[in-house]
Chains A and B, each alone.
Chain A
């Protein structure tokens, strides 16, 4: 070092340099604080959306690198819009803050909580199984219900799959949100709001299977209105499309992303029918066999992207009642589900010995 560099170094070590360094550290501290503020949702203390989504990407990378589990919970605060509309935004803000505090109280300090939307939080639980995540959120629900100003949350869970991107993981958890009570922000309809009720599909439509239905024929969809259906498909787009369209005529009791989850949900809910994707993780065949084992009365409709293939035939031989191709009109699928339920019930009745 020589010449101007020597002079600059000497200067930096002197009082002027100290002042500059002090100023620099002050600016840096301010900058870091500003950055932290921008990355934090001031109302709830959760990570702001952009920063939180970046953190989620890191968590996913870390989970893959360390071969650890990761479960995402999509939390929807019930009734925020009504509170805002009737009691004012101050009350709505307080509801959000209480909810966030309850969530924070039951998650680990290193779990990521993100304010994803107006009334939505994402919670990322690294190393946690679905069961562990459910247990924690059950406690959160209990706390919120016991609050002097009780509130409710809806939760959808998704475990990180081998090919999940962050948007896919979020979409899968979003698709798991219970539909029965509807969503505040109108992304799904509650049954009470459905204009079609249990009404029949248009018999004149080109989508009626087997041609137009005679007006005097019994309408299988109307007959089986509010029967219970399980959806087993790992694609969030398909899940969302099926869930929304089937809610018109059926009660959707669950949405499973793999065969194991489908079997678990079938065992618990004993659905009248299940829609099973032929290519779902864990295998459509395993799902069909497993569902029929734990819920023998369930009618299974196989959903396939392709024409009748060998794999679909295998599923039908394993006990599935019908198959439809993806993209089938919702009314047609509803009708085929209803017919499949009838067919399954008739088959079971025929198998049951009659005692005089």
Chain B
């Protein structure tokens, strides 16, 4: 039996789809993602009760500072394996909940850790912190 494959890109707007804010097709990491995926947030709002959305947001919100710190610490110490793990973890959470720009920022750290290129200095880390804060606020407005 041939494996089934979802035709739906998991990151709404990531492959061939026009996202809800009309920013057109997106491929790869060339463009800056929107802070949140309008489609994913709409899915949560459609599927989950207010209480459950708040609970989901709470879990993400509580874990976010430690996860950003883990990336920062690994990047500063040059621990590529830990950076890959930490960035992958937050990337997955962020993508799952709909924080697309944060997911993208984490994937950049993950790719850098794999490719051997410099993992990024304080500028990139500062951007990660800013994107995380931005996602936190936007999710609070949209889910909580």
Which residues of chain A from 178 to 211 have a CB within 8 Å of any chain B CB?
Answer: 185-189, 193, 196, 206-211
Known pairs A209-B6, A329-B40; A244 contacts B52 (CB<8 A): yes
Is the Cβ of B43 less than 8 Å from the Cβ of A237?
Answer: no
Of A163, A248, A305, most buried by chain B (CB within 10 Å of CB) is A305
Chain B 98-112: CB-based contact to A (< 8 A → 1; otherwise 0): 101001000100000
Q: Give the secondary structure class of A's interface.
A: mixed
Chain A 313-331: CB-based contact to B (< 8 A → 1; otherwise 0): 0001000111111111111
* Among A171, A185, A308, A328, contact of B59 (Cβ-Cβ < 8 Å): A171
Does A236 make an interface contact (CB < 8 A)? yes
* Among A211, A305, A331, contact of B95 (Cβ-Cβ < 8 Å): A305
Known pairs A207-B39, A244-B52, A245-B47; A323 contacts B5 (CB<8 A): yes
Chain B residues whose CB sits within 8 angstroms of the CB of A175 once the complex forms: 59
Is the Cβ of B3 less than 8 Å from the Cβ of A316?
Answer: yes
* Among B37, B56, B89, contact of A244 (Cβ-Cβ < 8 Å): B56
Chain A residues whose CB sits within 8 angstroms of the CB of B66 once the complex forms: 165, 167-168
Is the Cβ of B51 less than 8 Å from the Cβ of A187?
Answer: yes
Is the Cβ of A329 less than 8 Å from the Cβ of B39?
Answer: yes
Is the Cβ of A327 less than 8 Å from the Cβ of B93?
Answer: no
Which residues of chain B from 61 to 107 have a CB within 8 Å of any chain A CB?
Answer: 62-63, 66, 70, 85, 88-89, 91-93, 95-98, 100, 103, 107
Please give the number of chain A residues whose Cβ is less than 8 angstroms from any Cβ of chain B in the complex. Answer: 55
Please give the number of chain B residues whose Cβ is less than 8 angstroms from any Cβ of chain A in the complex. Answer: 45
Compute how far the CA of A331 lies from the CA of B44 in the bound complex, rounded to whole angstroms. Answer: 10
Chain A 326-344: CB-based contact to B (< 8 A → 1; otherwise 0): 1111111100100110010
Does B7 make an interface contact (CB < 8 A)? yes
Closest CB of chain A to B110's CB: distance in Å?
Answer: 9
Is the Cβ of B63 less than 8 Å from the Cβ of A236?
Answer: yes
Compute how far the CA of A236 lies from the CA of B96 in the bound complex, rounded to whole angstroms. Answer: 11
Does A311 make an interface contact (CB < 8 A)? no
Q: Give the secondary structure class of B's interface.
A: helix
Does B1 make an interface contact (CB < 8 A)? yes
Compute how far the CA of A240 lies from the CA of B49 in the bound complex, rounded to whole angstroms. Answer: 13
Is the Cβ of B62 less than 8 Å from the Cβ of A171?
Answer: yes
Compute how far the CA of A29 lies from the CA of B40 in the bound complex, rounded to whole angstroms. Answer: 56
Chain B residues whose CB sits within 8 angstroms of the CB of A328 once the complex forms: 6, 8, 10
Is the Cβ of A347 less than 8 Å from the Cβ of B39?
Answer: no
Compute how far the CA of A207 lies from the CA of B10 in the bound complex, rounded to whole angstroms. Answer: 9
| Beta-carbon nearest neighbor of A332 in chain B | B8
Chain A residues whose CB sits within 8 angstroms of the CB of B5 once the complex forms: 308, 322-323
Chain A residues whose CB sits within 8 angstroms of the CB of B89 once the complex forms: 235
| Beta-carbon nearest neighbor of A233 in chain B | B92
Compute how far the CA of A168 lies from the CA of B64 in the bound complex, rounded to whole angstroms. Answer: 10
Q: What would 12 more interface pairs be, CB under 8 Å, given A206-B12, A245-B47, A329-B12?
A: A167-B66, A174-B59, A186-B52, A189-B51, A235-B92, A244-B47, A279-B88, A321-B4, A327-B103, A329-B43, A331-B43, A347-B1
Please provide the 3 A-B residue pairs with the shortest distance between their CB atoms, ordered closest to farther.
A325-B10, A322-B4, A186-B51
13 A-B pairs whose Cβ atoms sit less than 8 Å apart in the complex: A167-B63, A187-B51, A196-B47, A206-B8, A208-B8, A235-B92, A241-B96, A245-B48, A321-B3, A326-B95, A329-B39, A332-B8, A336-B4
